[in-house]
Amino acid sequence: MSGPREECGIVGVTSHRRAAEWVYLGLYALQHRGQESAGIVAANAGNALARRGMGLVAEVFDEASLERLEGTAAIGHNRYSTTGSPTLANAQPILVNYRDGFLAVAHNGNLVNARTLRTRLEDAGSIFQSTMDTEVLVHLIAASRQPSRDLAVLEALDQLAGAFSFLILTPDALYAARDPYGFRPLSVGRRGETIVVASETCALDLVGAQFEREVEPGEVIKVTPGGNVATLRHEPADVECMCVFEQIYFARPDSVVFGMSAADARRGMGRELAREHPANGDCVFSVPDSSNAAAAGFAEQSGLPLEHGLIRNHYIGRTFIQPAQDVRDFGVKIKYNPVTSVIKGQRVVIVDDSIVRGTTSGALVRLVREAGAEEVHLRIASPPLRHPCYYGIDIPKRSELVAAQMSSDEIAARVGADSLAYLSFDGLYRAVGARDRHCDACFSGNYRVSVEPGIDDKAAFEPTIATGIPSPLGQ
Ligand code: AMP
């Protein structure tokens, strides 16, 4: 099923002459949150039009397709490549027509009770068109007996459990909602009467919208024409579960996430790492770009010179052709190349943000040694990643997580590093703030919002008849 492994970026724009163009720009800024598919729904006087496609934002849209997406309000979605088979039927936003007009939904996160809700809805006659947990929300709103759409939206959201930041577009309003625990980020910006709601503030920056505030945990806001923003409900849970992995890896460093600059958070993690696990090296460098800020913090604290020891190729699109000949570590080599003049004869300290399967670290250590490094010390700016995520980050199951199987020393031996050390929980939270406000289940196994049984079962939502099911999404 597509549920537990979804990472996404969402953007909504209201009261703008060409809303879809701004959503396009916002999605472009949020491309790091999802590269599998992209989509926009634009609304024009009670009618809505969708375009969705597989691939990067710039591959899915061109001038002509954007022009067709006329309207003064729009929402968009980037979806991350998941472990399940990528399919257009799972691209978002979802767009349906029901008795109250159109309804478009974009979701970032993962619902941990989607299977239960879906079974209940199917028993009552709902026909699902995708394998996405998100589709549950559409059915709940459509099935609601509440007298107004506002109340139907609130009632539907009430039934969901897990991690969600939602954008819901209807003929008269854009709703934006964050789950009561606040797992995923969602920010509101403004430029004149135009309101922009986006997963990360870097999307606001690109369109010149001024950051106003975050949607609060448990808050549902309603944006109506003319730039009016009203809180429909604000009922946070008694604990906060802000995803600490957003600060460690997922968010762009130029974004302010959960009230803190992700760049500052990572720099702090790097400083703490250097304090906890100094290394006898001649220089330090990052694995660009995700650990740039952490490496800068490590250098600052340790006094070691910060170098650019690895260069990253940014232009690996979906269409890249892998040569038939076997090239060892090709997947990593195509992305990173060592700078021999920086590395040769040096004792190098490589700072990375995390180790998942350990493939990258192993290949990088080999590359850096081949470039002549005397010693290679790996420093990881987060604790060992040992558990899957059920709240919207793509982290594989335990058997694939190297730190769930081996100690740091064993991992060091396996990847061929002279030493390897991870940041402690204390160090992490000295950098990002209170631990009890964060979710760190992927590191600790402490799942503070319980998950329905069988959520790991990838086949859970797969249709029994795989073909011939029309997508509700059209093109
Ligand atoms: P691996 O080779 O599996 O150990 O991958 C490790 C690298 O993947 C880390 O250095 C991260 O920069 C990156 N990474 C960590 N978490 C994720 C994720 N959820 N999705 C994609 N890449 C990730």
C-beta pairs of 64-67 under 8 Å, 24+ apart in sequence: 66/20, 66/21, 66/24, 66/40
Q: How confident is the model at residue 85 (pLDDT cuts 50, 70, 90)?
A: low
- Ligand 1 lined by 358 (C-beta under 6 Å): yes
C-beta pairs of 218-222 under 8 Å, 24+ apart in sequence: 218/178, 218/179, 218/180, 218/181, 218/182, 219/177, 219/178, 220/153, 220/154, 220/157, 220/175, 220/176, 220/177, 221/175, 221/176, 221/177, 221/188, 221/197, 222/150, 222/173, 222/174, 222/175
The CATH number of domain 9-240 is 3.60.20.10 = yes
- Ligand 1 lined by 352 (C-beta under 6 Å): yes
Q: How confident is the model at residue 453 (pLDDT cuts 50, 70, 90)?
A: confident
Q: How confident is the model at residue 322 (pLDDT cuts 50, 70, 90)?
A: low
Instruction: Report residue 341 CA to chain centroid gap.
Output: 36
- 91-101 tens-digit pLDDT: 899 999 999 99
Ligand 1 geometric centre to CA of 431 (Å):
21
Please indicate whether residue 235 or residue 89 has the higher confidence score (pLDDT): 235
Residue 461 has pLDDT above 80, yes or no: no
**Is 8 marked active-site?**
yes
Q: Which fold has domain 265-313+329-457?
A: Rossmann fold (3.40.50)
- Ligand 1 lined by 395 (C-beta under 6 Å): yes
- Ligand 1 lined by 249 (C-beta under 6 Å): yes
From 31, 83, 249, mutation site for ligand 1 pocket: most ligand atoms within 8 A of C-beta: 249
Task: Kindly report the number of other CB atoms within 10 A of residue 305's CB atom.
Answer: 12
* SS3 of residue 282 by DSSP: coil
- Ligand 1 lined by 65 (C-beta under 6 Å): no
Which residues neighbour 326 within 8 Å (Cβ) at sequence distance 6 or greater? none
Position in ligand 1 atom list of the atom nearest CA 359: 2
- Ligand 1 lined by 353 (C-beta under 6 Å): yes
Residue 2 has pLDDT above 50, yes or no: no
How far apart, in whole angstroms, are the C-alpha atoms of residue 123 and residue 349? 57
Tokens of 470: 């029309």
Query: What pLDDT does 4 receive?
Result: 43
Whole-number percent of the chain with pLDDT over 70? 92
Residue 258 has pLDDT above 90, yes or no: yes
127-133 average pLDDT score: 90
From 360, 398, 414, mutation site for ligand 1 pocket: most ligand atoms within 8 A of C-beta: 360
Q: Are 129 and 100 in contact (CB under 8 A)?
A: no
Ligand 1 geometric centre to CA of 236 (Å):
31
- 280-315 tens-digit pLDDT: 999 999 999 999 999 999 999 999 999 999 999 988
Residue 471 has pLDDT above 50, yes or no: no
Burial of 123 (0-12, 13-18, 19+ CB in 10 A): exposed
Please indicate whether residue 224 or residue 470 has the higher confidence score (pLDDT): 224
36-58 average pLDDT score: 95
- Ligand 1 lined by 360 (C-beta under 6 Å): yes
Task: Kindly report the number of other CB atoms within 10 A of residue 144's CB atom.
Answer: 18
Q: How confident is the model at residue 193 (pLDDT cuts 50, 70, 90)?
A: very high
Ligand 1 geometric centre to CA of 120 (Å):
36
Residue 462 has pLDDT above 50, yes or no: no
Q: Where are the domains of the chain?
A: 9-240, 265-313+329-457
- 355-383 tens-digit pLDDT: 999 999 999 999 999 999 999 999 999 99
Query: What pLDDT does 3 receive?
Result: 42
- 244-254 tens-digit pLDDT: 999 999 999 99
From 354, 389, 395, mutation site for ligand 1 pocket: most ligand atoms within 8 A of C-beta: 354
DSSP E strand stretches across 5-113: 8-14, 37-44, 47-54, 73-79, 94-98, 101-111
Q: How confident is the model at residue 459 (pLDDT cuts 50, 70, 90)?
A: very low
Answer left, alpha or beta for residue 392, where phi above 0 means left and psi between -120 and 50 means alpha.
Answer: left
Task: Kindly report the number of other CB atoms within 10 A of residue 337's CB atom.
Answer: 14
Position in ligand 1 atom list of the atom nearest CA 363: 2
Instruction: Report the DSSP beta bridge partners of residue 409.
Output: none
Instruction: Report the DSSP beta bridge partners of residue 380.
Output: 352, 422
Buried/exposed code over 183-204 (b: 16+ C-beta within 10 A; e: otherwise): bbbbbbbbbeebbbbbbbbbbb
Inter-helix orientation angle 135-143/114-123, to 10°: 40
Q: How confident is the model at residue 204 (pLDDT cuts 50, 70, 90)?
A: very high
Average pLDDT over the chain, rounded to whole? Answer: 92
